[in-house]
Homo-oligomer: A and B are copies of this chain.
Amino acid sequence: MDSQTAAEPLIKALRVEGSLPRDDEERLRALSFRVQTYAGDETIVAEGSQPGESCLVINGFAARVHFMEDGARQISAIHIAGDFVDLHSLHLETMDHEVSALGACEVATVPHEELLRLLDESPQLMWLFWRLTVKDAAIGRAWISALGRLAADQHLAHLVCELYQRLSAVGIADDHRFTLPATQIDLADMLGLSSVHVNRTLKLLRERGLLDWQNRQVEILRPAAVAELAQFSDDYLRLSSGERRSAFRKQANR
C-alpha cells in the first residue's frame, strides 16, 4: 500500500459515520501519508512520547497498551483497518500509554500540522473526526462494563462479538469468521485475566461448541448463543445519526 491509497480505508470508515462531501474526500487523499509496516508487538507510538503526527491503521490490528509498575500489561483498545488510532494525540500532548502492533500491521501517519490545517478548512471533517473518537469512547465504555461485571467466559464472548461486528462492518470479516493475530497472552491483557485462565476459558467455549479458535482464525459457531452469553448488543457500535448535523445544516440554510 502506498501513500496514494492510504486514505482509502479512512474514507471508507468516515462514510460509515456520515456524509463525506467530495471535496473533503479529496482533501483526505491529498494528505501526505507516510506508510509503515510493523511486526507483531512492535511499538508504533511510545508511552511518554509527544507525537507530532497521528496514525491510522491501514491493515492488521493495533492495540493501546498500558503498563503497570510490576510489568503487567493492560490493553485498553483494539484498532482495526480504517481506525484513526491516534487522532486523540491532536489533543493530548504526551502519550499516557503506548500504541503497538498486534500482529503484522500497516500504519499510515500524517503530521498534526496537516491535520490541523485540514480541520481548519473543513468543519465537517472535524465533526467526523470527533465522531470517530466518540465511537471509540463508546467501545471503551462497553469494555468497562465487561471488565467490571462479566465473568471470564462472557467477557471473552463479548470481545469476539465486538470484533466480528466491527470487522464485518468494514468488510474484513464475513460468515462469522475472522483472523485475529493475538496470542492468549494478548487476550489476557485485553480481558484483565491471566493467560492460563484465558486458555481454560477458551477450552470451555470450544467444548460448549460455541467457538472455534485455531491458528489465529476465529469462528463463531453459534452466533446467537455467543451473543446471549456475552449479553452483547451491537447498538453501541452503530451510532447511526451521522446525518443529523448535515440535516440540520440544510434546515438552517432555509
- CB–CB B144/A92 < 8 A: no
Interface residues on A, range: 35 or more
Considering only residues 68-84 of chain A, those with a C-beta below 8 Å from chain B are 68-69, 72-74, 76-77
Considering only residues 125-161 of chain A, those with a C-beta below 8 Å from chain B are 126-127, 129-131, 133-138, 140-145, 147-150
- Whether A26 sits at the interface, judged by CB under 8 Å, is no
Complexed CA–CA distance, A140 and B148 (Å): 13
Considering only residues 195-254 of chain A, those with a C-beta below 8 Å from chain B are 231, 233, 235-236, 239-241, 244-245, 248-249, 252
Report the minimal beta-carbon distance from A110 to chain B, rounded to whole angstroms.
14
- CB–CB B96/A235 < 8 A: yes
- CB–CB A94/B235 < 8 A: yes
Nearest B residue to A113 via CB reads B248
- CB–CB B144/A140 < 8 A: yes
Report the minimal beta-carbon distance from A182 to chain B, rounded to whole angstroms.
15
Nearest B residue to A116 via CB reads B248
- Whether A21 sits at the interface, judged by CB under 8 Å, is no
Mostly, the A contact residues are: helix
- CB–CB A141/B92 < 8 A: no
Report the minimal beta-carbon distance from A99 to chain B, rounded to whole angstroms.
12
- Whether A174 sits at the interface, judged by CB under 8 Å, is no
Q: Given A116-B245, A133-B133, A231-B68, A91–B141 Cβ distance below 8 Å? A: no
- Whether A88 sits at the interface, judged by CB under 8 Å, is yes
- CB–CB B148/A91 < 8 A: no
Report the minimal beta-carbon distance from A189 to chain B, rounded to whole angstroms.
8
A/B interface sample: 22 pairs, CB < 8 A:
A64-B141, A66-B141, A66-B144, A66-B149, A68-B150, A69-B231, A74-B144, A74-B148, A76-B144, A92-B134, A93-B244, A96-B138, A119-B123, A120-B123, A123-B126, A126-B127, A133-B137, A137-B140, A140-B140, A143-B144, A147-B192, A149-B192
Complexed CA–CA distance, A147 and B145 (Å): 10
For A88, what are the chain B residues with a Cβ–Cβ distance below 8 Å? 134, 137-138
Which of A's residues lie within 8 Å of B, judged by CB?
A: 64, 66, 68-69, 72-74, 76-77, 88, 90-94, 96-97, 112-113, 116-117, 119-120, 123, 126-127, 129-131, 133-138, 140-145, 147-150, 189, 191-192, 231, 233, 235-236, 239-241, 244-245, 248-249, 252
Complexed CA–CA distance, A76 and B94 (Å): 24
